[in-house]
Chain A
Amino acid sequence: MSRYLLAIFSVAALLASLLADPVVAADSVDSVLQAENVALSAGHAPLAVVDDLAFLRRASVDLSGRIPDSTQVDEFLSWPTSQRRVKLIDQLLAGERFADRWTVFFSDLLRLRSNVTGGSALTAYVHQAIQQDMPYNQLVRRLIATNGKANNTPEVGFVLGDNADPYALASVTAQVFMGVRIGCAQCHDHPFDVWTRKDFYGMAAYFGKTRRVESTLTRVVYTTESNQTTVLWPPEGETEDVDRKPMRPRFPFEMIAAGKQLAFIERFQQAVVARQQQRGPAGPSVEDLLAATAEKARQRTRAAGTPELDVATEAKSTLRQIDVKGSLYRHSALRDQLGELVTSPRNRLFAQSFVNRVWKELVGRGFVEPVDDFRTDNQPSHPRTLDYLAEEFVAHGYQFRHLVRMIVSSQAYQRSHVAADADDLVREELESAFWATTPRRMMSESLYDSIVVAGHLFDYKYPDGQNKRVVTETVRVLVEPASPKVAAVTDGPLNEQPLGEQEVETEMRPETVAPAGYALEDAIELDFKALLSKRDDVDIERMRVMSKEELEARRMMMAERAKRPVSGKYETRLVKREYDDNPKFSSAFRMASPAPAGHFLRVFGQTARNELGEQRDPDPTMRQALMMLNGRLAHEASRVGSLEPLHALIAQGKFEQAVELAYLEILTRKVTAEEMADAKELLQAAATPFQAIGDLRWVLLNCNEFRFLP
C-alpha cells in the first residue's frame, strides 16, 4: 500500500510531498474508502461529484465561512476547468478567513467562552494558532499543561474554563481530545464501557495539584501548582477520610507499544525535523525573549512609575514558568506528562477522534457517531478510512490545513445529493457509505456572513446621507445605577458566571444589558490582536506599591459600591433621533462568543458551550423563521442599494440581467427559464422593478436552497 512506500522517502522527498499535490492524497482517501465500501458490500455506486459552481459554493462556505461574491465567481470561472478546484482550495486555505471560520470549530470543541475568565484571550490565541499553522498536538499540549495568569498567558484559559477542577478536566481531556466519555466513571464504573472509577481518578490526579488562585482585591486570576493533590483514593464517602491516600496519576488509554515501529510514526518524526529545519537553525532563544520582555517591562514601568526590578522579575518568572519569590505560576510537571501522553502519535484516539470531528464538520457525518463516543460497542463505520486519515494527519506533523485539504480534495467531500425520488433506505445507505453527500445546513455564523455578503452589507450600499430619517423612540434610561456586582447577579441571563468569578473590569465596563429587538442581529467584532497584546499584569504590580492607606481606600470604595440599590432605577423617556439609514454589518465569526441567548447565532444553533459534548441543533424552529422573515438582516440584505451593480442594471431597464445577477450573488448559480418567468410575475405585481428585485432577493435569502449547502 502506498503509505508504506512513502515511509522510505527521504526527509527531502517528504518535505516536497508536504507541499506537493493533494490529488494523490485525495485519491488515497477515496481508494481506501472505495475498498472498504466494497468489503462492507455497500452495494451501490458512488454518485458523481457536484458541478463547479456548486463546489465553489460548498468549499467557500466550509473554508471561508461565507458564500462567494460575484467577483470570486468570475475569477473562479476564469481558471482552466481542470485546475479550478485545486486552485480554489489553495486560495481558501491560504485566505485570511480560514482561521476565522475554523476558530468557531475549535471554539465549539474546546468550549471557548468569551465571558469566562481568560476566555477571550484564549479564543484569540486559538485563532492565531490556526492562522500560523501551529500543529494540533502542540496546541493541545499547551492547553493541557500551561499554568499562568488569565489573559496574560492565554492558554491557561482552557484550565480556567473548568475552574481548574480536576474531575471536570479529566472528563474534558478524555472526551474532547480522545472522544471517550470517561466522565460517567466519576461516580461508578462505566456501564457500557471498560472504564472504571479508578481509571477516572487516575486521570483526574494529573490535575490534582493545580490550583486556581484569585486575588481577593484585584480579582486577578491565575493557576499554579501546589505540592498537595486534592484527588484522593478511595473516593469521598467510601471510607474514613484518614484512610484516603493521594491518587497516583495513571493514563488509562491504550498506547501503541513503545518498541513498535510504525511507518506513520517515523514519518511524523521526520516531519517534525523537517519543520524545524524549515524554520531556520533556531528560533529566538529564551534569553532573547527575556531580553525583549524586560525591555517591554522597562518601558511600561517608566510610564507607571513602578520600581523596575519587580516587574522584570515577574516577567522573567512568567516566561520561565518558574517562581522566584514563592509559588506564583508554578509549572505543572504532571500535566506536562499528561499532555505528552495525550498528544503522542502512539495514542491513536487523539488523532482519530479529531479527524473524525473534522470529517463530520465537512462531510456531514462522522465515522463514529456521536463524535465523542468512541468505545468498543460503537465501532467506526469505516475503520480503515478513519485510520488512514488519522495516520496521514499524524505523519504530516498534525498540520490542520493538511487534514482539511485531504478531506475537501476527496471525492467523498464533493459528491452530489441523493435524487429526490430515492426511497429512504437507499438514501440512508448511500449517505452512510459516503457515496452521496448528506444534506447540511450552513452553521449559524456562515449563514449570517453569507446573508451579509449576498446583501452587500459589509460596506455601505447607499451614498452618505441619502436615507436620513428622524425617529421617535421610547428608551428606558438608568437614572440610578445598581451596584454592578448586584446587577450582574440579579438581572443577568442564565449561565451567568457565579458571583465569585466575575472579573474586576466589570465595574469599568458600560452597563451591559441583555440584547433585545434588532440588537439580536448585531455582530460586534472582537479585536483578536489587541486581546493577545493585552497585558493586564499591571494590576499585581500596582498592588505591590500601594500603601496601606491606598489599599484601605480601595477596599472601602468596593464596599461602598456593594451598598448601592439592588436594581437600578429606570425612567421611560421619549427621544428624537436622526439617523442615516445606511447600515453596515460585521462578520459573525469575530463576535464575542457564545453570543447572548436569543441572538441570531444562538437561534440558528450556536450552543452556550457550557455542557461538555453539546452539539449544534440542526432542526429549524419558529424563532428562526420569525428572525428571517421579519428580521433586520434579511430585510436590509434584500433592499437594493443605489451603489450596487444591480441597481444600475435595474435603472437601465435590464431586468433579466438583474435577475441573473441576483441568482448568482445569492445562490451562486444560473437562473432557469422557469425561474425567470417567476421573476417576471413578481415584476408585474410589484410597484417598482426595484421592489420586485427586492422581493426576489428576500425570497432567495429565505429559501431552503440558500440555507442548505449545494
Chain B
Amino acid sequence: MHMSCPGYRMSRRSMLATGAGASLLGLPVRELLARADSVGPTRAEHVILFWNGGGMSHVDTWDPKPGRPVQGEFDPIATSVPGIQISEIFPQFAQQMQHVALIRSIAGTQGDHGRATYNMQTSYLSGPNLRHPGIGSVVVHECENQGDLPAYISISGQAPRASYLGQRCEAYYVANPGDKDPYLAFPEGIAEVRGNRRLDVLARYNQKFARQRGKTGFQATQTSIDDAVRLMRSPALQAFELSNVPQQTIDRYGDTTFGRGALLARRLVEKGVRFVQVNRGGFDTHSNNFPAMENHGAVMDSALASLVADLAESGLLKKTLIMMVSEFGRTPRINDNAGRDHWASCFSCMMAGGGVKPGVVVGKSDEDAMQPADRPVNVPDLHATLCQLLGIDHSKEVMTPLQRPMKLVDNGKPVAELLA
C-alpha cells in the first residue's frame, strides 16, 4: 500500500485524541506516533528547487571572500540579517535574507558534470548497474497528489528520471514558462465528442494489441495516455498561463525565462504541485566568469527576491521549501581565461521556507573557500534535510525491479542546525 507523508496534516494532539488502542489507517496509534517522532513534525508540503546546471561559483554568490586574491570582481554587500554578507550580484535578494538560510560548507566529492549532477540530484553516486531516481521523484512518491496538476513539474529543462519509482513519479516538462501549451487540448477542429470517441477506440485497440503480444511493457503506454487525458480535463490548467497575469507582476520577477519560471513555480505551488524544478544553465564559466555571473545575478536577483517575498506575504512560505543548488562550485583561484573551473570540495547552497530556520548560515569555508573550515555537509545530507522538512523518512527502503532494497536517500543525515 502507498503510505504517503507519515503524519501528513495530522498533529500529534489530534492523533492522541483518537485514544489509546484505536488505530488510524490500519496502524496502531502508538506506532504512528513513534513514526511521527522519528521523522519530526511536518512543516513543508511543497518544494521549489532551482537547479543551476554547470556548477555555480560559490565565491561569486553566497560565499564572498573580500580582500583575498580569490575574491574576483564582486564585492560583498550587507543583507537584512546583520553579519551575513552575500555577493553584490544579489542586491534585492539580500533584503530577503531574514527568510533565508545558507550552507557554506558542502563537501562534494564529484568534479565531473555528469557524476556530480547525478550525485546532487539523486544523493547517490552513479554506478553502472542502476539508475537512481531524482529527489523530486522521491518526494512525489512519498507524498500524495494535491489537486489535478502533475505532482512534479520541471521548467525550462529536464529533471532526472524517476527510474524504479515508476512513471507516476516522472516530472512533467514545461519548455517555456507562461506559454500556452497546445498539447493540453485536442487539436483545433477536433470537437470534444469526436476527440473522446477517438480515445475510446484507441484504448480498445491497445487492449487488443496487448492481448496478442502479451502484456509486457505495453500497459505503460495506456497508463501514460490515461494520465494525459486526466490532465487535459483539469480546470487547474490555467495556472500554467501567464497571459492573464498583470505585466507589472511579470516585470517584478523580471521578464525573462527565469523570472517567468519563478513566477510559474509560485502559481503551481498554489495549485498544490508538490515539487517544481526550475532549471537554468550557463554556469560552467571556465572563461569570462565575471560578466557571466553578473548577468546571472541580474536575471536571478529580482526573481528570487520576489518569489520569497510573495510566498512570505501569502503565508505559503511556511509550507514551501525553496532550495537553490548546483552540481558543484568553482575554483576559488581564477584561471588564465578569467574563468573558474570545477570545484567540488567546498561550495554553497541556499534554502528558504518550509520550516528552514531563517537568517542563519550553516558551516564555514576556509579563508579562500577551498575547503570547509567547520561543519562539513555531505551531499546526501541535503536530501535528508529536505526529506525531514517534508516529513519523509529518508532511510525508508524501496525495492528496485531486481528486488534490491534501496534507501530513499543514500545515508544522509539531516542538518539539525537548519531545522527550526
**Chain A interface residues toward B at CB < 8 A:** 181, 370, 373, 417-422, 424, 427, 439, 474, 485-486, 488-501, 514-518, 520, 562, 566-567, 569-570, 597-598, 603, 608, 610-612, 617, 619-627, 629-632, 635, 678, 682, 685-686, 691, 695, 698-700, 702-705, 707-708
Query: How far, in angstroms, from A673 to B240 measured CA to CA in the complex?
Result: 46
**Chain B interface residues toward A at CB < 8 A:** 51, 53-54, 113-114, 128-129, 150, 156-158, 161, 167, 170, 172-173, 175-176, 179-187, 190, 194, 197-199, 201-202, 204-206, 209-218, 220-221, 223-225, 227-229, 231-232, 243, 254-258, 279-282, 284-288, 291-292, 295-296, 298-299, 337, 339
Cβ–Cβ < 8 Å partners of B185 in chain A? 630
| Given A181-B128, A621-B170, A702-B202, 4 other A-B residues pairs in contact with their CB atoms under 8 A | A370-B128, A439-B218, A678-B204, A699-B202
Contact B114 A611 (CB under 8 A): yes
A461 CB, min distance to chain B CBs, angstroms: 16
CB within 8 A of A695: which of B182, B201, B339?
Answer: B201
Which A-B residue pairs are the 8 nearest by beta carbons? A500-B287, A494-B157, A625-B228, A516-B176, A598-B175, A420-B214, A496-B281, A635-B187
Contact A622 B216 (CB under 8 A): no
Cβ–Cβ < 8 Å partners of B128 in chain A? 181, 370, 373
Query: How far, in angstroms, from A570 to B202 measured CA to CA in the complex?
Result: 43
Contact A492 B281 (CB under 8 A): yes
Contact A620 B213 (CB under 8 A): no
Chosen A-B contacts, 15 in total, with CB atoms closer than 8 Å, are A418-B214, A439-B216, A491-B256, A495-B53, A495-B281, A498-B286, A498-B339, A621-B224, A622-B150, A623-B173, A625-B221, A625-B224, A630-B184, A632-B182, A704-B218
CB within 8 A of A491: which of B197, B258, B291?
Answer: B258
Contact B183 A570 (CB under 8 A): no
Cβ–Cβ < 8 Å partners of A517 in chain B? 179-182
Contact A489 B282 (CB under 8 A): yes
Contact B285 A499 (CB under 8 A): yes
Contact A498 B257 (CB under 8 A): no
* CB contact under 8 A between A499 and B214, given known A490-B296, A682-B201, A702-B202: no
* CB contact under 8 A between A490 and B184, given known A417-B213, A598-B173, A635-B190: no
Query: How far, in angstroms, from A598 to B177 measured CA to CA in the complex?
Result: 13
Cβ–Cβ < 8 Å partners of A695 in chain B? 194, 197-198, 201
Contact A500 B172 (CB under 8 A): no
Contact A427 B183 (CB under 8 A): no
Cβ–Cβ < 8 Å partners of A704 in chain B? 205-206, 209-210, 218, 221
Contact B156 A493 (CB under 8 A): yes
Query: How far, in angstroms, from A514 to B292 measured CA to CA in the complex?
Result: 20
B121 CB, min distance to chain A CBs, angstroms: 12
A468 CB, min distance to chain B CBs, angstroms: 15
* CB contact under 8 A between A630 and B232, given known A516-B179, A567-B255, A704-B209: yes
Contact B216 A629 (CB under 8 A): no
Query: How far, in angstroms, from A103 to B286 measured CA to CA in the complex?
Result: 31
Closest to B254 in A: A567
Contact B282 A617 (CB under 8 A): no
Contact B282 A622 (CB under 8 A): no
B366 CB, min distance to chain A CBs, angstroms: 16
Contact A489 B296 (CB under 8 A): yes
A619 CB, min distance to chain B CBs, angstroms: 6
Contact A499 B187 (CB under 8 A): no
Contact B205 A566 (CB under 8 A): no
Closest to B230 in A: A622
CB within 8 A of A566: which of B113, B183, B295, B339?
Answer: B295
Cβ–Cβ < 8 Å partners of B224 in chain A? 620-622, 624-625
Cβ–Cβ < 8 Å partners of B198 in chain A? 695, 698-699
CB within 8 A of A620: which of B220, B284, B286?
Answer: B220
CB within 8 A of B184: which of A626, A707, A708?
Answer: A626
Query: How far, in angstroms, from A370 to B317 measured CA to CA in the complex?
Result: 44
B177 CB, min distance to chain A CBs, angstroms: 10
* CB contact under 8 A between A707 and B221, given known A499-B282, A625-B227: yes
Contact A421 B214 (CB under 8 A): yes
Query: How far, in angstroms, from A611 to B114 measured CA to CA in the complex?
Result: 6
Contact A612 B114 (CB under 8 A): yes
B323 CB, min distance to chain A CBs, angstroms: 17
Query: How far, in angstroms, from A496 to B202 measured CA to CA in the complex?
Result: 39
Contact A420 B211 (CB under 8 A): yes
CB within 8 A of A427: which of B181, B190, B216, B258?
Answer: B216
CB within 8 A of A610: which of B114, B337, B339?
Answer: B114
Contact B205 A494 (CB under 8 A): no
Contact A494 B184 (CB under 8 A): no
CB within 8 A of A496: which of B186, B217, B282?
Answer: B282
Cβ–Cβ < 8 Å partners of B180 in chain A? 517
B198 CB, min distance to chain A CBs, angstroms: 5
A162 CB, min distance to chain B CBs, angstroms: 11
* CB contact under 8 A between A567 and B256, given known A489-B295, A629-B225, A695-B194: yes
Closest to B200 in A: A699
Contact A705 B209 (CB under 8 A): yes
Closest to A599 in B: B175
A457 CB, min distance to chain B CBs, angstroms: 14
